[in-house]
Every structure is written in structure tokens, then in C-alpha cells.
Amino acid sequence: MSDTTQLDTIPSPESEGAVPDASQISHRRLRQTIADSFSADEFRLFCHDLGVNYDDLGGPDTGLTTRVDALIMHVHRRQRLRVLLTVLRENRPNLVWKQILIDEREPEALPLLVPPRIAQADAGTPDTIIASQGFTALLGLLRQPEIHEAIVRFQNDFQAASSRIDLMNDLKLAHDLFQELENRYFLIENDRKRLPADDLAWDSLTLNEPELGAKIDDLLALALRSAFAEEAGRWSQQLAAVRKAMRTAVEEANLEQLNSATRRLYRVINRQPSRLNAQLITTAKALRLKNLQTAVTTICATTSASNFADFELMNQIKQGSDALGDIDGRLQHLTTEHDAWQAIDDELRRVETSLDSGLEELDEAWLDLEPMTRDLITAQTADWATELQNVLVALSQAIDEAVIVTARRLFRRFRSQSGRRFRQVDMELLSLCHDLQKVGESLDLLLRTVK
């Protein structure tokens, strides 16, 4: 099957019952259509049907249109817009998709969801899209009783995978927002360092503080509605207190309070991203895509294609099953490599604190660090591996010969290069978590159908 056919996961909006893609939706028109179609009480039930807490979409004085917009963005960030549109059509069967589509007069689309992108080693259709197609194809065979019964038998596996994918998405979003918050922190920190010598720094802080506050607000909103809301309680409270203290410090030009707020903010952003990352890795390991692959393979074995259309659907389902296996392999490889680089990074951080005192700690730690690193770069042909191999050999020699100055210089180069690879693996993992949301969306649609 060609890549063009594979990517055609969503029928044309003009076809009967077809659900438009997010790129085809007018943000304003969708918001207005929902706001016009529901009373406040009806919208509360609509949110419940989507598994979203109505009260999390705003305070008691928040208007319906604002709550609708919050719901749309909440669902869109999780790449579950097709689920929202499906539930909307179920509640309002007279809805015509043309009402919410972009046209030349109103080009206001939903904001793009830009994941951390990496260079793809292979061209063609991503496995996540093929796997998503497989679950979508199952919907086309639900008219067969044996297919419906088989899906119900594996419903718990599907639900568990959907929940974990949703949790991975929330953790990834929080990780990304903390990165943006850190960028804003550095702007504040640069201004703070100019004080008290440069009084004009307060003018710069007046501009940068609201941007910092907005990023904190984004994190607080996500924490409130996330799948890890209970765990986020502590750092949410800390960030809320920092936001208030920072605003007061800037408004009153209080340097002592600014210093305190900045230190507290640094503690949060220095700890939480790594903790979120650890949760993400743990959740990814527990995803068990192999269970889904087994479920899909078993379901396929319960039926045979009776016509050409069914044959095409069966073909997509089988390809989706194979793709799930490939995704699982890639996910396991990335989490294993991530854990290895994490262990190396932790050891390098420990050694670096003692490096000025001599090579004793490095000499001892190198007995573990050298083979750990060699295992990771063996059979690798990429430039990063070749460069790291060269530094590895040179640093080993410097340690053996106890050349302190050279060993220190090579150690820092080694840490820099290994750190870059660690970050690359991290980005690849985050990118895969983002792409897995397409699988999660298709799973959610399937689960809604068999309830």
C-alpha cells in the first residue's frame, strides 16, 4: 500500500458522517457552534461525556464561551479533537461539518501542536499513523458480531493503553512548559543580576515578569486538569506562591523579595523537569504495546474478509498490528538507552564536584563509566558516537597517565558530548510520546463505540 493511501486516515469532510481533521477546523466557528448549541447545564453534561471536569474549565464567574474555548484547547492539546467532534455529532445529530470548517473568509485555524522534532531515520509513513489507522479500521468491521465481541474482551487492555498514553501526553506537556518557564526565568535572572547597580533593570523586569507569570499560569492550568493533578499539587502551590511574590517584588521594586522569589523559582525548575521525565519513562515502560498487538492479532483471527472493502480494512488492521510491534521495540530501546545515559549523567555530576581536588574520584568512577559508555556506542556509526569514542579513548589515557590538566579538559568535553546525546534521546522519546497521541485518539473512538 502506498504512503499516500496510508496517510489518508480521515475521509473527506464532504463524505457522509466523516469527521474533519483538526487542520480543517475553524477555531472560532467551532467555539461559537458549541456555545450556541448548549445551555450551561447541557454543556456540563457534554463535558462529563468527554471525561472532562466542567469546574476545571474556569471559575464560578466564567462565561460559557470561555469554558467552551478552554475545553477545545484541553482536548486539542491531547490530540483528541476527533473524539470531541464525534461526541458533538452524537449530541447534535443535525450538525453539518461545514458549519465549523475553515474557509477563505475565516482562516482562523486551531493552533499547531509542534512536538520536539528530530531527524527521522526512515522516510514514509510513521508507525504511529499506521497503528492509528489499524484501530480506525476496526471501527469499520464492528458490524460483524464476532469482531464486536472480541473487542469487548480486550476492552481493558485498550482502556489501560489509552489512559497511559493520555498520562504520557500530560507529562510531556508539563515538561515542555517547564522548559519554556526556564527560558523566562533566565530573562528575569539576567535582569536581577544588573541590580542594584543598574536601576533600568526594573523597567526590563516590568516587561518580563508578566510573561513569566503567563507561563506559570499555563502550568497551573495544566496541572489542574492533568492525569497527574494530585501529584502536581506541591509544585503547583510553590509556583503560585512564586508568581505572587515575583509580581509584588517587581511592582514595589523590592530587590530582597525579588532575590527570594528567584531562588524559589530556580529550585522548582531545577527539580521538576527531571522528575516529570522519570514519571514519563516509568509510564512508557508500562505502556505494554505488545498487549495491544496481541489483542489486535487475536481479533483479526476471529473473522475473514467477505468483500473487497473488508479485505482493505483487514489489511490496514494487520499493518497496524505490525506497526504496534515496531513502536514497542523503539519505545523499549529509547527508554533503555535513556536510563543508561541518566545513570552516566548522575555519575558525571557527582564526579565533577570533586574534580578540582584531584583525579581520585574520576579514577574510581571511570571503572564503571568507561564500560557503560562503550556499551552505548558499540556498533553505532553516527558522528556523535565517533566523536564520543575519540574522547573516551583520550580521557582513558589521560586518567591512566594521571595528567590532571588534560584529564579535566577531556572530562568536561566528555560530559558535554554525552549530555548532548542524552538530550537527543530525550527529545526522541518526547517526540514519540507526542506521536502516540494519534493511537490514543483512535483507541478512545473505538472504546466509545463498544461501550
- Domain locations along the chain: 1-113, 158-285, 332-434
Mind listing the pLDDT tens digit for each residue in 232-241?
A: 888 999 999 9
Q: For residue 191, what pLDDT band results from cuts at 50, 70 and 90? A: very high
CATH entry 1.10.20 includes domain 332-434: no
Helix (H) or strand (E) segment spanning residue 288: none
CATH-assigned architecture of domain 158-285: Up-down Bundle (1.20)
387 compared with 137, residue with greater pLDDT: 387
Q: What's the whole-number average pLDDT of the chain?
A: 87
Higher pLDDT, 2 or 208: 208
Say what the pLDDT of residue 277 is. 85
Length of the chain in residues, anyone? 451
DSSP H or E run through 429: helix 404-435
Residue 173 confidence (pLDDT): 87
For residue range 436-450, list pLDDT tens digits in order.
Answer: 988 999 999 888 887
Q: Do domains 158-285 and 332-434 have the same CATH topology?
A: yes
Q: What is the pLDDT of residue 114?
A: 57
109 pLDDT band, cuts 50/70/90, is confident
Judged against a pLDDT cut of 70, whether residue 120 lies above it is answered with: no
What integer pLDDT is reported at residue 14 of this predicted model? 40
Report pLDDT digits (tens) over 357-387: 889 999 999 999 999 999 999 989 999 999 9
Cis status of the peptide bond prior to 107, with omega within 30 of 0: no
pTM of this structure: 0.79
- Cα(first)–Cα(last) distance of the chain, in Å? 32
Cell of 360: 581520585
Give the pLDDT band (50/70/90) at residue 89. very high
Compute the average pLDDT of residues 249-266: 96
Nearest by Cα to 280 from 230, 331, 341, 239: 331
pLDDT bracket for residue 4 (50, 70, 90): very low
Tell me what pLDDT residue 451 has. Answer: 67
Confidence of residue 125 (pLDDT cuts 50, 70, 90): low
Vertex 110: Cα angle to 169 and 95 (nearest 5): 105
Give the residue among 316, 285, 286 at the shortest CA–CA distance from 299: 316
**Dist. CA 136–CA 118, nearest whole Å:** 27
The residue with greater pLDDT, 373 or 114, is 373
| Per-residue pLDDT tens digits for 148-189 | 888 888 888 899 999 999 898 888 889 889 989 999 999 999
CA distance 169 to 44: 24
Of all residues in the chain, the percent with pLDDT exceeding 70 is: 91
Contact criterion met (CB below 8 Å) for 394 and 314:
no
Asked if residue 122 has pLDDT above 80, the reply is: no
What local confidence, expressed as pLDDT, does residue 15 receive?
41
Burial class, 137, CB count within 10 angstroms (exposed 0-12 / middle 13-18 / buried 19+): buried
